[in-house]
Structure 1
Amino acid sequence: MITDAVRNNAEWCEAMCRAHGRPGAFAPQAWTNSRRTPPYYPDAVTLTAEASARDVLDGIDRGAPGASVKDAFARLDLAADGFRILFEARWIHRPAGLPVPSVRAAWRPVRTPAELAAWAAAWSGGDPDEAALFRPALLADPATTIVAGYGPDHRIVGGAVLSDSGPVTGVSNLFAAEGTDPAEAWAGCLSLPDATRPVVGYESGDDLPPALSLGFRETGPLRVWLDTGA
């Protein structure tokens, strides 16, 4: 169960890196990128619980501080290699076949560069540098669907990225605009995937309860390590 979520997330990281012209590489134990990845995206993701520090560190650029490793099974200790824990979270899984939540907003896929620009502006809170993370190349990726919820005034009230990796659909980058209940955003994005497939992702802190309220359950821990250059 966790393995499907981990692979799905690594494939989404690869899709984002490809959109920026920086593809990574999959090996049996880890996905790694020999060039620095876009902001908020790891330079490596462990794919199995048996992955070692060398499986991730040998494939990334550590020429300067700031590289990160998604320790997807929370099994590594990278402190001796100059890393510190950036954050911890929980993998979540929603079984197939659960009822689709009702929604008030009109949720649909983002199809055009102009729609993507509006989505990215809403996701980033209006920060142009952060909004630039989402490039039009993502719209051509058959495994990636960016979705948005629109209110009666056509304002974007929430959004997410849906990633298709075969056995599961992944949800990431979920956001709710000011004044929108995060559970409403979760319900909106859940109204779009194929209901016969499980939905996976990860959350932490105050972002976790809205997902659990809609049928997700926790399946295991993960950590993200940051290279301090020490």
Structure 2
Amino acid sequence: MITEPDIPALLRAAARNNAEWCAAVSRSGHFRRALWCSPRRTPPLYPDAVTLVPGVSAAEVLAGVDTVGPGCSVKDSFASLDLAPAGFEVLFEAQWIHRPAGAAVPDGGRLEWDEAEAPGELARWEAAWGGGESTGLFHAGLLREGVVILVGRDDRGRIAAGAVVSTGGGVVGVSNVFARDETDIGSAWAAALGAAARHWPGLPVVGYEHGEDLDTAVRAGFSPIGPLRVWLRTAQARPGHGLDTA
């Protein structure tokens, strides 16, 4: 069990939890000592590698992913890598967030919430999340123990908001929080926290956010605990900076 004030342990647990979620969505990759990585390109919006501990070298990360084809991305969980010599740019920076186990759950707002249990419902959830049609990114294999996909419906029965909570790494991770109407985003965070408390009441809750979404998470009771970066490969490696020396 993680001691709540142990920030280094929480950061490692958050990274592990997020990597397990990325692996589940991607249906590819493998875990090594210091990172999860996929030798083939992962689905859009999901990284090809996630570092699990501080101090991983760029060479170790890049050796586990495909840097030949376009679009390689790396989640630098401790904001400690320099992948620029290998042709990467920082796509965005964010903060890992944490909320203690047992903290009071905020009010759920106006929406009615339940949990997706069938592939058809999951496809409708994905369409609402992405603002279009389902692509199968969120596949039926995600409807399993350890993952809860929350569906928030308005008074006309339409999917208006949602979130994912998943266990792994000794914590509960919150991700993919969305609301079609900005006034419902607080309800989505409240629903995620309520699900975490019901299913895994003794575990701390983690995730990562940036910008206005980070502000919303803080209002829901989370605290920022450390930075991360997501790198995207946009160019060729600089001369003399191949995989062995990047």
Could you state the TM-score of these two structures normalised by the residue count of structure 1? 0.92
Pairing partner for 2:137 from 133, 137, 144: 133
The aligned residue for residue 25 of structure 2 is 16
In structure 1, the gaps of 5 or more residues are none
The aligned residue for residue 114 of structure 1 is 120
Give the Cα separation in 1 of the matches to 2:141 and 2:19.
Answer: 18
Q: Over residues 28-65 of structure 1, what are the superposed CA-to-partner deviations in whole Å (9 max), with x where a residue is unaligned? A: 11111001101100001111111110121001011222
Q: Say whether residues 1:167 and 2:173 are aligned partners.
A: no
Give the Cα separation in 1 of the matches to 2:30 and 2:195.
Answer: 30
Q: Secondary structure at the match of 1:163?
A: strand
Give the Cα separation in 1 of the matches to 2:132 and 2:69.
Answer: 29
Q: Does the aligned pair in 2 maintain the 1:110–1:147 contact within 8 Å?
A: yes
The aligned residue for residue 187 of structure 1 is 190
Give the Cα separation in 2 of the matches to 1:127 and 1:114.
Answer: 12
Q: CA deviation at 1:178?
A: 2.3
Pairing partner for 1:212 from 204, 215, 218: 218
Pairing partner for 1:197 from 203, 210, 217: 203
Structure 1 residues 179, 44: CA separation in 2 closer, same or farther (over 3 Å shift)? Answer: closer
Give the Cα separation in 1 of the matches to 2:70 and 2:178.
Answer: 29
Q: Does the aligned pair in 2 maintain the 1:172–1:201 contact within 8 Å?
A: yes
Give the ranges of 4+ consecutive aligned residues of structure 1 lying more than 4 Å apart after TM superposition: none
Q: Does the aligned pair in 2 maintain the 1:150–1:156 contact within 8 Å?
A: yes
Q: Secondary structure at the match of 2:165?
A: strand
Larger radius of gyration: 2
The aligned residue for residue 14 of structure 2 is 5
Q: Does the aligned pair in 2 maintain the 1:100–1:195 contact within 8 Å?
A: no
Q: Does the aligned pair in 1 maintain the 2:16–2:169 contact within 8 Å?
A: no
In structure 2, the gaps of 5 or more residues are 1-9, 237-246
Q: Does the aligned pair in 2 maintain the 1:35–1:60 contact within 8 Å?
A: yes
Q: Does the aligned pair in 1 maintain the 2:19–2:50 contact within 8 Å?
A: yes
Q: Which moved more, 1:162-171 or 1:201-210?
A: 162-171
Q: CA deviation at 1:221?
A: 0.3
CA RMSD of aligned residues (A): 1.3
Aligned partner of 2:23: which letter? E
Pairing partner for 2:51 from 41, 46, 53: 46
Q: Secondary structure at the match of 1:66?
A: coil
The aligned residue for residue 29 of structure 1 is 34
Q: Say whether residues 1:66 and 2:66 are aligned partners.
A: no
Give the Cα separation in 1 of the matches to 2:70 and 2:213.
Answer: 28
Q: Secondary structure at the match of 1:181?
A: helix
Q: Does the aligned pair in 2 maintain the 1:93–1:217 contact within 8 Å?
A: yes
Q: Secondary structure at the match of 2:189?
A: helix
Q: Does the aligned pair in 2 maintain the 1:64–1:229 contact within 8 Å?
A: no
The 5 A counterparts of 1:149-168 are 149-165=152-168, 167-168=170-171
Give the Cα separation in 1 of the matches to 2:49 and 2:157.
Answer: 38
Q: Does the aligned pair in 2 maintain the 1:98–1:195 contact within 8 Å?
A: no
The aligned residue for residue 87 of structure 1 is 92
Give the Cα separation in 2 of the matches to 1:177 and 1:213.
Answer: 19
Task: State percent identity of aligned pairs.
Answer: 52
Q: CA deviation at 1:179?
A: 5.1
Aligned partner of 2:166: which letter? S
Q: Over residues 160-182 of structure 1, what are the superposed CA-to-partner deviations in whole Å (9 max), with x where a residue is unaligned? A: 11111152110111101125331
